[in-house]
Amino acid sequence: MTTTFTTPKKQLTWLITGCSSGFGLSLTRIAQAEGDKVIATSRNPSRTPELVREVESKGGKWLQLDLDNPNNAQVIEQLENSGQEIDVLVNNAGFSIFSPVETSTEEEYRAQMESMYFGPLRLIRAVLPHMRKRRFGIIVNMSSGAALEGRDTMGGYAGAKAGLDGTCIFSTSILSELKTDAGLVSWTGVTKVMAKEVAPFNVRTLTVNLGTFNTDMPNAATFGKNPLPDDYQGSVSAQMIQVIKSGKLPILGDKDKAMKAVYEVVVGEGVGAGYEAERFLPLGSDMTPRVKQVQQYLAHGLEVFGHVTDNVNLDR
């Protein structure tokens, strides 16, 4: 049964992480242009004084927020205690370390998890009590195609993204086996469970899985400190690292078009009208084959081993 969500007719207040460039800045500008209030955040606001002035001149606020700080959720309490109710939390900030799993260090993987799993999770846990009491709120996780089907060298990044949203796409063939007529269903990790828990309070979630877009993320990429073993030379992993370093990663998506779609789905207007209950929004034409690949992967497993799956139950 589909849950019906309602959105109050008022100016919404957004808290968006990672606003110094890319998706965060684009969504900030779109939300402000639509008349909403934005609390933008970044790790070092002093590096972008012109953007701080731009946002604050339009009635917004810009705060320093480091997702790696274990006390980062205090920003939620400070805002709420001052009377600034957060209606929409957008977990957008992040970075990627490119390195094969074999050569990656625990420190590198922990850094990915801290910024893109534990950091956002702390914010989510801090804002939910307020949203629950008000009977309204929206949690938006800006995820990646890597969370569905990570490319070589993206194990840390994909793992962190999948840990927070962990989206799995079930094809209609699997759904028919499950005796459900839902055309496409997405289940997620932490967000999956949370979405079920808070739906009765009119609090909803949206996981946005993004393909390649014209943001600064490729230029901000970092790489594992350990060199590749000789066996990896010429491999897809080595080629991926070379492409990222050369700045020649094919870019297909327009970030502003994507964030316009995110805004409309959040507020239930335009392309999002009537779809407030949807939890999964894939964006970018390169996402289509990745979604289909995951569908096929799952369907294939059931096709090959379905007879085994159904025959390992206790004898009755």
For the annotated catalytic residues, the residue numbers are: 157
Distance CA 32, CA 19 (A): 13
The H or E element containing residue 144 is strand 137-144
Contact of 5 with 277, CB cutoff 8 Å? yes
Distance CA 167, CA 296 (A): 15
* Sole residue written with tokens 């705060």: 63
User: How many degrees, rounded to 5, is the angle at CA 201 between CA 197 and CA 204?
Assistant: 70
Q: Where are the alpha helices (DSSP H) in the chain?
A: 22-33, 49-57, 74-81, 106-113, 119-134, 146-149, 155-164, 172-177, 190-198, 236-246, 255-267, 287-309
